[in-house]
Amino acid sequence: MKIPTLIALTALTATAVAGPLTFDFKDPKGVNNATFKLDAPLEAISGSASGITGAVTFDPDDPAATTGTIRVASKSLTVPNPMMQGHLQGDQWINAAKFSEISFAVKSLANVKTDGNATSADASGTFTLKGVAKEMTVPIKLTYLPDKLGQRVPNLKGDLLVIRASFQIKRSDFDLMPGQMEEKVSNTVDLTLSIAGASSK
């Protein structure tokens, strides 16, 4: 086989396998989590959520084209204090019985910067909580880890996509007892997300 033909076939093969990948964020290990904190003058409340699912489409050759939706099961939100836990899940707060999930649907990325396998960007999309949808832009970091799925979940082959994000929302924007109890329950909620999604081969 002539060298030019070999080069052409190699390029064709590379083109065939390249392209966007879909990553599933339902973690079989149950490690994916989101944390939240409300730091009011009289009390600081911290909690977490583990019921994370969703799918993100990511192209290693074009990270700026990333889209997808991350969902958090409302009933998975927990705080250490049992009384606060009951209030949190109740109809005056997140009303988990009626609104089963919290979600962020990413529509576009801006200010995209890629260094190796890591990409930082501002993700714009729709954040939905307690049935209220707000357009938001939040900073995120995407880390693409090819062929690393087996190191996280034995006996599986594929790639990983790790998403990290830290941002704030206002509970008054989402009908979470707006204007009430702000000395004990801050209006500002700090959210942190650190999750890994899998694209199996």
Q: What is the pLDDT of residue 4?
A: 44
Statement: residue 199 has pLDDT above 90: yes
pLDDT tens, residue by residue, 5-52: 444 444 444 444 458 999 999 998 889 999 999 999 999 999 999 999
Q: What is the pLDDT of residue 16?
A: 42
Can you give 180-198 as a three-state secondary structure string?
Answer: CCCCCCCCEEEEEEEEEEE
Q: What is the pLDDT of residue 18?
A: 59
pLDDT tens, residue by residue, 113-130: 999 999 999 999 999 999
Strand partners, 57: 22, 67
Please tell me the pTM assigned to this model: 0.88
Contact 112, 101 (CB under 8 A): no
Which string of b and e fits 104-118 if b means at least 16 CB within 10 Å? bebeebeebeeeeee
- Tell me how far apart the alpha carbons of residues 108 and 125 are, in angstroms, rounded to a whole number: 7
Query: Domains in the chain, start-ordered, CATH in brackets?
Result: 19-200 (2.40.128.110)
The residue with tokens 């060298």 is 3
pLDDT tens, residue by residue, 142-151: 999 999 999 9
Chain centroid to Cα 3, Å, comes to 46
Q: What is the pLDDT of residue 7?
A: 44
